[in-house]
Every structure is written in structure tokens, then in C-alpha cells.
Structure 1
Amino acid sequence: MRTHTIAIATAVFAVTGGAATHAQDKYALKSPSGIAFADFKGYEDWSVVSSARTDEVLKVIVANPAMIAAYKAGAPGNGKPFPEGAKIAKLQWKPKKSTEAPFVVDVPDVFAQAFLMEKDSKRFPKTGGWGYAVFNYDAKSDKFTPDAGSLADCGHTCHVAVKAKDYIFHPYQKR
């Protein structure tokens, strides 16, 4: 058993060029606003709400089951706010032109950022019940870091424009 363990360790050491690697546990991170990345565990498999594009990033907006159920019930257009515990993640990539498609199309290149929102009126009463957090991703180090400017109201300033929609820009898109 000991020989087998040494062989595996030697192989890992050789593959990594002699450098010790340590995978980051992004779920151990917490934003300055107090929102823990762990509260969004599983976001990689959440349902898509919508997508968006700016000159700088491609965005895919996903939501947890509680928020998707509220969308399907008509929120926020039905006059009801999203429920406590609703969560949404805006995942952002730098775009690049596809070199494979037979037409001009931008596709995701390098992941850049996870912008997270969590509905918790007790924790975030000053921002319409929503807490905001941004986790930046550095592809070179393969690590996430909480955005230093990501206080509980960092996204609130922009989202006030859609207060009548319970502070959410993106409707659930028809499929």
C-alpha cells in the first residue's frame, strides 16, 4: 500500500512539473457583505433564466429552484415578490469569436465573475430584501476571490431601476 501511495504522489509531482498543487475550495469563501459562496452550492446545475451580453462579457443568469418556481408562478409580474431564499447567479465570461462556426458568433472564453443575489429580508432590509456579492475568477491561478467592493448594497444601486420587478432585471425567458 505504501509503495502504491508513493507512486501516485510521484506521478502527481511529475505531472504538475514538481509544483505542489492545492485545489481551491471556492465554497469556503465569504464576501464582505457576509454572503457565503457555500450558500450557492450547486449553482452550476441551476436552471437558466436568461442571458445577456455587453461589450465586455457574456452573461448567463441562473436561479435556484425556489426562484424558478416563483418565476413559473408569474413573479414578479403577478404582483408578488420573489420568496425568501430565492437566489440568482449571473455567470460572466469574456467573449471570443468562434473559429469553428460557419457564421460570426461570440462564444464564452475565460470565466470572469459570479455575481450573486440572495433574498433574505431580515439580513438585507435596506436593499429591498436582496443581498449582493461578487466573486472574481482568475484563470491563471484558477481561484475565486471575493470582490472587495462587494458590500451588501453593491448591486442595489443598479437594481433600484427595477424595484417594481422586485429588483430583478431578467424575466424568465420563454422556451
Structure 2
Amino acid sequence: MRTSRFTIAMAAVGCIVALGGSALYAQAKQDKYALKSASGIPFSEWKGYEDWSVVSSARTDDVLKVIVANPTMIAAYKSGIPGNGKPFPDGSKIAKLQWSQKKSTEAPFVVDVPDAYKQAFLMQRDSKRFAKSDGWGYAVFNYDAKAGTFTADPTGVQDCGQSCHVKVKESKDSIFHPYQMR
């Protein structure tokens, strides 16, 4: 009888551990698209950004960045925008995805590679909705690799994004990165 109760108790503990593990996995698979930025823009407006085409890449001392854009913006780049003096059309969306970096331990040469995912900096063109910020809406979502979750950046980047991008407003329609040669 004692062995039987012990066996049942251990089985119950195993089930609880397994369920707890499932709950943690479910938490890590958070619905990031349910979040809204500090400026009120929902992450869901960039749904599918993970599969967009690469525009460019960049590196700072702290992060590696890959810049991707939706098909509307890629088509605009290919038509000559912004170099032809025309603005990106409404519906254009771009995402700057950022990772911390580390030296590759596998490559036979010195190269920095992505480490932990850090942030998605997002912009979208809607000249009516975002008229106060030159037609561009800005949102930032930070990623916590340990927790496996995104959070809206609390700094209210709507104004910060526009104030940084105004430097290239006239020459590049507020977009720093050109579509790179393939």
C-alpha cells in the first residue's frame, strides 16, 4: 500500500512539473501582437514582419541590426523612392530588428554574430493618421530573452522616433537606410 501511494504521489508530482513546464512554454509563446506601444500603436499592425525582405543592416558598438520592410515599401524602394524625390506611399512599413552581439566561436575568421534578441523598432507611413510626425508612426517593443516576452517600450518613442528621423526628412523621407544593392 505504501509503495502504491508513493508511486501515485510521485506520478502526481511529475504531472505538476510537466504542467508547470507547459505553462512556462506557453508564457514564452506570448501573443506579442496583443501589445500596444506607448504611443498607442498595436504591434499587430506589423503582423508578418518576420518574413519581410531585408532592406539593409547596421552595427553599433552594442547591437547588430537588420532592417526589413513590407512589400509596399520594398516596391517603393525599387521604384526609386526616396531618391526620386517622392515620399514612401501610405501603407509602407519598416522594422529595425536588434540583437546584442558576440564574436563567433565557430567561424575561422573574426566576425560578430547575433546573440540575444533585444528590440523591434517599427515605423509605418500613414500621412493622415500620423500627420503630426511627418506622416510616420513609431513604435518600439523590447524583448526580454530570459522571460521570452515582449513589452512595449515605456519611453513613448513616438516623439523620439520622429525627432531622430527628422534629420533625414527632406533627403530620404525620414528613412535612414537605403535599399542595399543585391
Aligned residues with identical type, % of pairs: 70
| TM-score, scaled relative to structure 2 | 0.86
Gaps of 5+ in 1: 1-8
1:58 corresponding residue in structure 2:
64
2:21 corresponding residue in structure 1:
16
- Indicate conservation of the 8 Å contact 1:13/1:20, yes or no: no
Deviation, 1:152, is: 2.2
**How many aligned positions are there?**
167
2:77 to 48, 54, 71: 71
Task: Determine whether 1:172 maps to 2:172.
Answer: no
Task: Determine whether 1:103 maps to 2:103.
Answer: no
Structure 1 stretches (4+) deviating beyond 3 angstroms?
Answer: 9-12, 17-21
Gaps of 5+ in 2: 1-13
Cα gap change, 1:144/1:19 in structure 2, threshold over 3 Å: closer, same or farther?
closer
Paired residue type of 2:82: P
Which sits farther off after the overlay, 146-155 or 105-114?
146-155
Select the structure of larger CA radius of gyration: 2
Paired residue type of 1:148: P
1:93 to 90, 99, 113: 99
Q: Distance in 2 between matches of 1:116 and 1:18?
A: 30
| Bigger proportion of residues as helix | 2
Query: Alpha carbon RMSD of aligned pairs, Å?
Result: 2.1
- Indicate conservation of the 8 Å contact 1:97/1:106, yes or no: yes
1:46 to 49, 52, 56: 52
Paired residue type of 2:176: F
